[in-house]
Structure 1
Amino acid sequence: MSRSVTMSAVAAVAGVSITTVSHVLNGTRVVAPATRERVLQAIEQTGYQPQPTARSLAAGSNRTIGLAITVANNPYWVDLIQGIDTEAGRAGLKLVVVDTRDDATYEHSAVANLLAHRIDGLVIAPTAEWRGSTLPLLRDQGAPFVVVDRIDPQLRVDQVGAENEAAVTAVIEHLLQRGHTRIGMLGGIPGLSTSAERLRGYHLAHARSGVRVDPELIRVGDSSTPGGYAATSHLLRLAKPPTALFSANSGMTIGALAALQRAGVRVPDDMALAAFDDFPWADLFSPGLTTIAQPSAAIGARAVQLLVRRMQDPFATPQTLRLPVEVMHRESCGCVHSSSVVLQEICASDSRPLAAY
């Protein structure tokens, strides 16, 4: 028998779905005798060897879920992990966290290792390239999983994240209304849905306001502090630099602040500043930072709730949930008084309620 044979190969030989093969192996659903026999024959014919995770899913004794995520120095991830861990504890589940480093190779290896250690399900904040590596692995193994933070509308899987496009649109429109027609944009890691959605919000705000976007004002900051520093420094060197700046995550915001300080650029006198992701000390800066606050802990809790539902019912209709964000208007955008506006939940593909967080 060979471990190189996958569950999808068995399904192809038997003429059934991967899910059906999983149910035959795990005993999680009644399968028609004739279909079961075809699957068993295909297993024998291909030499497929069930992975440890398949046996653990059937036994249901591990009570452990995995979390594959980049453990970056970002308050958003810290709060998200805390939300996942808290909700897992409420459900009687243990949590194992692995660092993907936002790298597809590390992600595939980390997830494969989790599966080999018989986790019962997985929450994953996937890399940009996961559809070509980690996603096929999860499907071949028949492991229950939920995508968190990075929503892909083309995939019919359980997904939870925050509203990105509408929130960025609102903040950029606010800057435009304050008279800024040259707004710099620090974008996140290319290929991630969050990066794309936030960039779309930037473009949409300009289109609605009838202001042309100068491509020179859009810089990739790779969702990191060094990237934010380098991108901001580049924008400041332009012949016609921006008068306002929007950073698409908190890591880049720290880099942007460092670059502005080093260049002697005052916020908001010389440069208005707004950012995605709030953090505990955002209102302690002088001036306070205008940010988009995500409900990080609630997103994590929702992800675990969806995962528990998926573990209990493999045939449940996939849900895509976007939770509301809050725009924290402080002084860095040029406003004198602080305020906040909650942008309500935009969509949920399945209206059946989950337990309230």
Structure 2
Amino acid sequence: MPTMADVARSAGVSVATVSHVLNGTRPVLPHTRQAVLDAVDALGYTPNTLARSLVTSHTRSIGLAVSAISNPYFTEILQGVEAAAREAGYSLLIADPHDDPAHERQAVQLLHERRVDGVIVAPSARPSDLVAYLGRHAVPAVFLDRVLPARDHAGGGPTLGRAPFDQVCAENTGPMADLVGHLVALGHRRIGLVAGLPGLSTTQERTAGYRQALTAAGLAYDEDLVVSGHSESAGAERATAALLSLPAPPTALVTANNAMTIGALRTLRERSLAVPDGIALCCFDDFAWADLFSPRLTAIAQPSRELGARAVRVLLERLAAPDRPTRTVRLPCAFVHRTSCGCPERRDGAPGRPPAGTGGTTEPSAPLERGTAS
């Protein structure tokens, strides 16, 4: 197997020059650089990344721990992470924590033991073991999609508003309030919510948005109208059935992620409830085939790929400046107005305009970066 010394002899340069060309550690004259690259190709030289990592303490690899990789939402996030990592010259190692607190710590530990330079994690509902491990081993980390309460790095009490790690997530409260407010503007007064897994920040924030819209409309919060679907299709089937079995069932339904939308639709079909004539339906999380349903699904679209790409950029900034203050980056969502909410469809195939003041727009606002967790 050819060595770096063989490349240097073939190109007529020093081993140090070959190292600078391959690692980009120092500018090299164009003709010298080309001579080195030609020698690499001719000899079939492959850099020993393991040996390099032992010298530099860097492997140019990122660990990604996200659950339910089969979920289209996380699949798109994965695509954003992979593309941004590749563009920056980093490889990607992936682990699935299964949304299990014990398993997620083991998954991240496995990535850490593979000497990744940093990790991107979508934390579970109870991530205390994970947070303790990351803090104890000083692992550069970015929390993705779900945020943590502002606490100190040792996992103790609240600090002056600074989250323990960098975080990248979507806005949840405002967009959910827009979605529910749109249904209120259409005349609905009993709106059911199929909520996500208890304990997740996304569940808490979207439920807060639901309550915020009701308060703004002068409607009382009815806890019977909020049932957890545990962020999965089967759970949403049960939650939707429970809502439809109420003495006064909801006239509109909001699902808090795409997997639960599928479960809700399955139950509505079993109950022979047509959308939107029998019940209006809106969902948080747009997905590729939402426009193919009949009627087409009114949804909140999250910037999934950009969330993944932004998480990579935030992690690389952390690696470049380990002592910089932590921050939370929130990206805007878009209201995708279709017809499952009950709005009539125009002759051109588009839905009628949503009522003014409901936030019914497909244009997201500017991204928001904060130094504190929301």
8 Å Cα contact 1:79-1:296 kept in structure 2: yes
Instruction: Select which of 272, 279, 295 maps to 2:280.
Output: 272
2:228 partner letter: V
What's the CA shift string for 1:309-353, capped at 9, x where partnerless?
1111101121211111111111000012436433424631259xx
What's the CA shift string for 1:129-154, capped at 9, x where partnerless?
11x20111011111111011002251
SS at match of 2:368: coil
Larger Rg: 2
The equivalent residue for 1:123 is 120
**Is residue 226 from structure 1 mapped to residue 222 from structure 2 by the alignment?**
no
The equivalent residue for 1:3 is none
**Is residue 85 from structure 1 mapped to residue 82 from structure 2 by the alignment?**
yes
8 Å Cα contact 2:68-2:74 kept in structure 1: yes
1:147 partner letter: F
**Is residue 248 from structure 1 mapped to residue 279 from structure 2 by the alignment?**
no
1:342 partner letter: E
Equivalent pairs counted in the alignment come to 296
What's the CA shift string for 1:192-224, capped at 9, x where partnerless?
100000000000000000011211110000000
Equivalence map 1:107-118=2 (5 Å): 107-118=104-115
8 Å Cα contact 1:225-1:255 kept in structure 2: yes
Instruction: Select which of 339, 344, 359 maps to 1:336.
Output: 344
Equivalence map 1:29-44=2 (5 Å): none
Runs of 4+ in 1 over 4 A off after TM superposition: 55-58
The equivalent residue for 1:24 is none
SS at match of 2:211: helix
Return the alpha-carbon distance in structure 2 between the equivalents of residues 121 and 242 of structure 1. 46
Gaps of 5+ in 1: 1-54, 352-357
CA RMSD of aligned residues (A): 1.7
SS at match of 1:257: helix
Q: Report the CA distance shift for 1:72/1:222 in structure 2 as closer, same or farther (over 3 A).
A: farther
Return the alpha-carbon distance in structure 2 between the equivalents of residues 330 and 348 of structure 1. 30
Instruction: Select which of 43, 61, 65 maps to 1:64.
Output: 61
8 Å Cα contact 1:322-1:345 kept in structure 2: no
Shift of 1:108: 0.9
Return the alpha-carbon distance in structure 2 between the equivalents of residues 84 and 109 of structure 1. 21
What's the CA shift string for 1:134-190, capped at 9, x where partnerless?
111011111111011002251242111111000000110110111100000011011
**Is residue 137 from structure 1 mapped to residue 119 from structure 2 by the alignment?**
no
Return the alpha-carbon distance in structure 2 between the equivalents of residues 165 and 277 of structure 1. 13
Instruction: Select which of 294, 299, 324 maps to 1:291.
Output: 299
The equivalent residue for 1:100 is 97
Shift of 1:57: 9.2
TM normalised by structure 2 equals 0.76
Return the alpha-carbon distance in structure 2 between the equivalents of residues 94 and 200 of structure 1. 38
**Is residue 147 from structure 1 mapped to residue 143 from structure 2 by the alignment?**
yes
Equivalence map 1:133-282=2 (5 Å): 133-154=129-150, 155-282=163-290
TM normalised by structure 1 equals 0.80
Shift of 1:191: 0.6
Return the alpha-carbon distance in structure 2 between the equivalents of residues 346 and 82 of structure 1. 20
What's the CA shift string for 1:245-276, capped at 9, x where partnerless?
00000000000000000000010001000001
Return the alpha-carbon distance in structure 1 between the equivalents of residues 371 and 229 of structure 2. 35
Return the alpha-carbon distance in structure 2 between the equivalents of residues 120 and 62 of structure 1. 6
8 Å Cα contact 1:56-1:119 kept in structure 2: no
Return the alpha-carbon distance in structure 2 between the equivalents of residues 80 and 163 of structure 1. 15
Return the alpha-carbon distance in structure 2 between the equivalents of residues 250 and 317 of structure 1. 34
Q: Report the CA distance shift for 1:206/1:346 in structure 2 as closer, same or farther (over 3 A).
A: farther
**Is residue 74 from structure 1 mapped to residue 71 from structure 2 by the alignment?**
yes
8 Å Cα contact 1:69-1:99 kept in structure 2: yes
Identity of aligned residues (%): 43
SS at match of 2:340: helix
The equivalent residue for 1:348 is 369
What's the CA shift string for 1:41-77, capped at 9, x where partnerless?
xxxxxxxxxxxxxx96982431111001102432110
Q: Report the CA distance shift for 1:120/1:178 in structure 2 as closer, same or farther (over 3 A).
A: same
1:75 partner letter: P
Return the alpha-carbon distance in structure 1 between the equivalents of residues 269 and 56 of structure 2. 57
Return the alpha-carbon distance in structure 2 between the equivalents of residues 128 and 76 of structure 1. 18
